[in-house]
Amino acid sequence: MNAYVQKIRDEFGQGDAKRDAGQKTPEDIMRFDDIVYGTDDPELQKLDVYRPKDRSGKLPVILSVHGGGWVYGTKEVYQWYCMSLAQRGFAVVNYSYRLAPEYRYPASFEDTSTVSQWILDHGEEYGFDLEHIFGVGDSAGAHMLSLYAAALTNAQFKVPYNLPKGFAFQAIALNCGVYDFADNLLGDTDPLIQVFLPENSSETIYTEISTIHWINENYPSCFIMTCPGDFLNAAPEKLIPVLKKNSIPFIYRTYGNAKNQLAHVFHCNMRLPEATLCNDEECNFFNTFINQLPQTSDHK
């Protein structure tokens, strides 16, 4: 095991355990756990589905792509965040994917695509409204979601994994992510991208995995957020001009301020009022598509 990866896993795991200590499944949530969606590593390739108990029939779907620097994270770590989204009226699919360095690119994208197909195949069983599918992702998960959305909407973007026919995001929320690997936006976490990519990769792969190169006019509308304490808070500056160029509606939010800078992926901390605000605003953004309200860009 790569010593740096192990350090990241240990530190992130300890931090998340402290953050989530004492959390319990909300009484108003119905959950379906540990559904195997893949055949390569059934212990890792599992997902959960969460629904609000007071809502029957088909619900709009949120697919959550977890963060963790491509090397860390599971659906268990993200269950509290995802159940909070379900409480806002959504069916939420929360999945674990194969992590680097044990499984390098494009394994995590293969898993994302397999889960997307699973959603299509199990819409009736779990009450998914397949006309209203949304995505949320943070950190590495925001990178993955943003790039996967490009693959779904740009036929010129040839990816090394299969895409499900008929799967489409109406809108996505990108939280504290990175969208271009030309500049060293990752700072001290740069070694993680090295273990994420295949060994002996050529320089062209950095273009392949940089979302900004693959966005076109078909890309879904976006809610983009960061905070002053996010080490990736400059990353939207690369993404937003490309969205504008392609006339993609988006909302951009910075939470916190100089006195309360928050931190990278603060929105996953269910005890923070800023997390509640952010998650409310993102779900309200999704609801505008369900209710067919007018869409506008917001450059705040």
Q: What is the pTM of this model?
A: 0.95
- How far is residue 249's CA from residue 148's CA, in Å, rounded to a whole number? 18
50 or 182, greater pLDDT: 50
Taking the domains of the chain in order of start, what are their residue ranges? 3-290
Buried b (16+ CB within 10 A) or exposed e, 7-22: ebbeebeeebeebbee
- pLDDT at 184 (0 to 100): 58
- pLDDT at 291 (0 to 100): 82
Mean of pLDDT over the chain: 94
Class of domain 3-290: alpha beta
- When pLDDT is cut at 50, 70 and 90, the band that residue 24 belongs to is very high
- pLDDT at 297 (0 to 100): 45
- pLDDT at 294 (0 to 100): 46
* Average pLDDT, integer, range 30-55: 97
- When pLDDT is cut at 50, 70 and 90, the band that residue 188 belongs to is low
203 or 9, greater pLDDT: 9
- pLDDT at 299 (0 to 100): 43
- How far is residue 169's CA from residue 94's CA, in Å, rounded to a whole number? 16
- pLDDT at 295 (0 to 100): 46
- pLDDT at 203 (0 to 100): 85
- pLDDT at 269 (0 to 100): 98
